[in-house]
Structures are given as C-alpha cells and as structure tokens.
Structure 1
C-alpha cells in the first residue's frame, strides 16, 4: 500500500498554493506582508510574515471563494512562529477547513499601536490524489504468461479535514514499457484495473493521477514491479562437414528450444544466438547475425579456419530465457 508521506514540493493534507508574486502592503510601522503556506510538514497551514518595528496585536484572514464571492473560511488563530530584528512570522495553529477551490486570502494585520495593514494572495485548496493498494493477478511472469492485470484505488486527501476518500470518475495514467493507451477511469469506489502484456524488461509499472477531479493534484507515482522467471533453453547444432580445407564453406544448422508450460517448444525468433569457432585453446571469434525461424530452427554459413568445433550460445531474449550452449562435433581442417 502506498503510505501518505510529505515529500518536498508535494502537498498533503490541506493544499494551499501560493502565487508567484508575494502579497505586500505598507503602513506606518508595518512593512511588507507576505502570505504563504507550508509546502512540507504542515501543508495548508497559512503563514503571514510581517516586516514590523512594532509588536503585532492581531492577524485576521478571510478566504473569499473566487467562484461565488462568498467567504469560505476565516482564521484568527495565528501564533508566533519566529521573529528577527526586523520582522515577525505567524502561522495558523490548525488548518482552516474549507471546500476545495480557489480563494483570495485577505489578511489584516493590526499593530499594538493600532496601525492596520492589509494584503491579499490567491490560494488554491487542492485535494491531493494518490494511487494506492496496487495488486496484480500475476506477480511473476514468464514467456507463456506475460499478460498481467493490475488493480488499484485512487484516493484523495481532502483539504482542511484531512479526510481520505475514493475519487470516482477520475483518470489514472500509467507508464508501462511497450504498453501505450488511454488513462483508466476509476469507478464509483475509486477502483481501476488494466491488463498489460509485459515486455520482459523494465518490468516496473508506474501509476499516477491524471485529471478528471476538480481542484485535485497528484502527489506522485505509485509503482508495481513484476518479476520474470526465466525459462530453461537448449540448443542443438551440427556442421555439414567433418573434414575441410581452410576457407571451405561450412553450413551450420540447428534448433533452439525453451522449456515452456507444456514441455519443450521452439524458442521465438527474437531469441539471441552467438556462434563461435573454438578449439582446445579457446574461442577465436564469434558472430550473432543468426536468424531463427518460427519453428526454432536456424541456419548459418561460415568458413573453415582451423581444426576445432563451432559453439552456439543462447543469449536469451530480454529476461525471459536462461542461457545455454551447444556445440558441433570436431571439424578437422587441413
């Protein structure tokens, strides 16, 4: 299960997004006022920083809904956060509970001497969406069983209350290697599922909130990884000559098989082969431009170089097949 955590630049709980230009105001004894929010550990709690040479008596904030013009919430519970010789910073002691939406935060600061200053800033209350509870009907795959159905639930953490609810009718997007397609729509319970044919490499699937739910943002990627169980392989090869002169053409033929769910079967054409010329001192050179037919057979033309044998190695196909080797009888070259 995905755990809720407060990564940097990801807002959990109440999500208030500050505009690019700080809100400011000037009054005698009160300088610049900056309205912001905590993006990290106390997401959504409002901060008000005041350049002031006078003690601050009170801070009040109204949050006006941009869509309706109504006041969606208010806050007077600002407590001292820190102070310097030229400024003080206050923070709400608890989240302001409001519906998701866009608000104008209208802040009034009153100094001890009665001086009043005001500033405003646009803040957005987001529902923070996370993909959770990913499961797969097949956590381990092989060549015969490559289709995997992944299921999960999209949930959102509501601003203010922190309540977690399923998000219905939203779009969940994904990245799965060699699997393109449209996002998945969640059902009434926020659940979704999609079947993928795994490629055998890069076997981690990533899921994340895409769109479709008002004032909702994704909080990151949730991943699920399947493992690959390599199938055993075997290769048989023979040369068309047992005796040859240097430079004589030699034809190698053989067959590559894999041990599948129903016994030995032809390896697919994507399977890699490496052919080498070898003797008791080792292998001199090799090549891999060998085509495999649908029935697992192959044919390769080479030339006689020295007395020895030809060795064929199965290099596999991605993670689906284990390696194996086969060799011809010795070909004597004079």
Structure 2
C-alpha cells in the first residue's frame, strides 16, 4: 500500500509535482509556439493561393487586352480591308483569345462586322454600332476599356466586353471589341484557389460577386460578400499587400466564420479574395493541443515511474537502518 508517511513516498510525490509543473510549463510554451507556427503557415498558404489567383487573373486579362489591341493595330494599318480579310482577322483573334465573339464597328457608317461573319448596319438591320455602350465608352475614354459584367442577350451568360478605339491621323475610324464568357474565366482561373476547405472569388467594392465557380452566384450578393466589402471599406489596408496583417474574418449566410485575405486586381473596380473556413485553423490548433496533452501525460507517467524507482532504491539503506 502507498503510505504518505513513508519518506520515499513523500519524496516521490514532491518530485512528481515538480516534474509535472515543469512539463506543464514546457508544454504550454511549446503549444503556443506550435499554435503560432501552424497559424502562420496556414496564413502563408492562403495568402499564396490568393496571390496565385490574382496573377492568373492578370495574365488572363492582359491576354484579352493584347488580343483586342492587335485588331486595333491591324485596322490602323489597313483602314479599309475587304470583308473576307476582316472576318479572317476577327476569327483568328477570337479563337486565339478565347472570346465568344469579336467585332468591329466603323465610325463613318455605324456598320458592325463580327467574327461569325455577321454584318449589321443601320440600313439593313437597323443596328448602329456607334450607339452601343461599349462603343461610346471606348470612344469617350480614348483608350481600351473593359465593361462591367452583364448578362448576354443572346444566351443569358455572364459576359464582359473589351473594346479599343482605332485612330488614323488622330481621327477615330472604328472601335474593335470582344465578348468573353466569365464562367469560362471562373473555371480556368478560380480553380487554382480551390481546395476541400477554401475557394477564391472576385468581388466589386460594393459586395457584388463578379467571378465565382458557381455561375448562379455571379452578379449577386450574399451576407459573406457584403461583409467582405464592409470590412474593406472600414479598413482599406486589408487589400494592401505591403501590410503584414491582411487576414480578417467575416460571417457567411450560414453564420459560419470565414478567414479572408484579399488583394486589388488589375481592374481597380474589383478585388480577388481567398476564403477559408475558420475550422481549418481551429482544427489544426486543436490537433496541436491534443498532441501536446498526450505527450505531457506520457512524460509525467514515465517520470513518475523512474523517480519512484530511483528514490526507493537509493533510500533502501535508510529503511534497513531504521528497521
């Protein structure tokens, strides 16, 4: 029987408490260090994912801009091409740039030539390219412009238009453009930021979902997108990559907390965000805590056995003398 009035037992208990206290302190320190390290690496992974998606966004957007600019250069050098030559150029750029359709509207008569070999004009189809929003916006800006996303009247897809004016001797002669399906963009670019616990999306400054893997969410708002927009309005530094603390929290429509990191896109109207469920962070930290507790318990048990054995062995002569 374990007797507390026995000297060896008393020393064992004292040593056990001291060892347990030391191990608890050491494991608490290790836990918080491991917690910080785990959170840091998860944050870095999320930030890197957001960075990769943003870079892919830039590459895609720049490729579309370059394709439209190449048509503008061709028309500038050949202001009066024949219809077949024009159709061939438009189709080549459409195919190379991944557009749904490319087109050119002429300033002198308002006619529109499309890559699908359709011609529209005020006389034949009562269509005047000069009255279209993409034409007027590019003409007024006097540079390449990108429209806000809109639903196509032809197939109801979410579309964005690139348009660039063409000048000859400082005189506007045409505006070239191309339509691009944003669902294709979402599949090709946002998939980079997709995993079992996180995804990426592009939002405007008011919380409208511009690009999303789920096309039904595009051009809509939800609690999460609104909360993201509000957080950035309150603290614009959250989309400043030069700042260290750019992670923030926002609740989704189910009331679950999401960990967010965002950055400005090539288009100043939009931001790209990487979104991860907070449980990814808490589960990782809880796993570290569980491991630390198990290690501490095992260490205390082993230390208790060793201390008990050592004390009993070394105090045996005293027990003999006492007897």
Using structure 1 for the length normalisation, give the TM-score: 0.25
Of Structure 1 and Structure 2, the greater helix share is in 2
